[in-house]
Chain A
């Protein structure tokens, strides 16, 4: 009936507790993962997607670009008229949907990974400068960050993408740049928190140099929140990339990406619904896996944000 959080038990410290050895931390993460079934599911889903991207040529039964107009719009294997030759059926140009889904992971993961890499790097640098230098530099960076974050994100991404034109690099750059402010905000917050905690002062007082302080004290504390954020943002980028593809604004139409497949399938929705169904499911399971993984990472890496559990 009463509602206070319990006093934190001493053994329940963070994975990144500096006092613990790497092995201990790993064991702790493992224990946590085992107990958290949804985190386990998330990890498995994510690994499946990564494996599909890495081994796409080995897994795919067909060339994802190979057209075979004689075999167009064949339904999935378990439907009437389907055949085991094409597990998920074929699209309007007779291309194997299963192979295209497998190759689609490459586009999604590339956009997600490099987008987050750019956004994370930019954000880390900007946020760290803002938090560490403070003063006027801080106000300018915070002002810019707030500005970008208060604009309608999706509208802007669509606007920019429509101007820049369809290419993988453009999509990565758009997400990498527009998403940097979120990383900057989190980084700045963490840097300020670490500064306030006082051990920077003690490091300065024993004569540590700025570079040392950043590498020894600030970066290790940033890893947890940033990895968690990166997971969620990567999931968001994969999602939005598909959205852009759906509007015909992402990678060129010849590239097998889930968004492009959706856009094509939309035209044949009533006659051949499977063309649009499978890419949507692929996006959903990827996003689901990364969200579950992100929730789990947040629990393990950042005990301050830990969900309340039974």
Chain B
């Protein structure tokens, strides 16, 4: 039995397989509509979420399966003090696969130790969010036709942004990728990623605080939100939340085939006027998220063969 806790749990071959299956679902979704008939997905969300939970539930329903679960810790036995291990052990008696989000880092890993069914990490605090990474990889593959040889800029909160950390780690396994990290000094990419992921793999990168000066080099621009829930100090959040705002004017210097991505939800960091620009891919990214989760559910339930 396989779990997905960290994107590193998947080999490059397995990621490519998932992208291949997702592409096949995109091409002919109907042929997959009954593949999970009789199967139940439990969505255990100890932290609020709109996109990820609904994406998982939609993915399972589109595969002909059923869903159950809760959408906040207050409506689960966690409110009574039950441990993550006990909750997962219990829920694995009711379901065939579990998607779990928890505000504490490492909670899905703890759950996977006692679960009798596959556990998917649907986000654990500021730590990992592997299905967002798979979504991002599928988006890049769909929009660029490849996962190699491009320049990608990450902009915004690169310190707490778990989607950034996971995607950077995943992309280091592909060749010919140049990284540009654009962030305020307070929210730069963590040292451990620079040393233990980028430097260890001898991957060159640049760091800057200026989006306008680097946008013309980019094939992909990955914008992120400054997340209020990651700050202990409200003043710091207020000071940094509008540091970068992508507008049509700033896009004038960008390549015509730039792919603008964002894990969503967006607050102010991308002006609404950018939504109509053909380079805006962030809502397509939402659709890709469902397709890759469909592929992942099929794989973890061993239904691909």
The judgment on whether A and B are partners is no
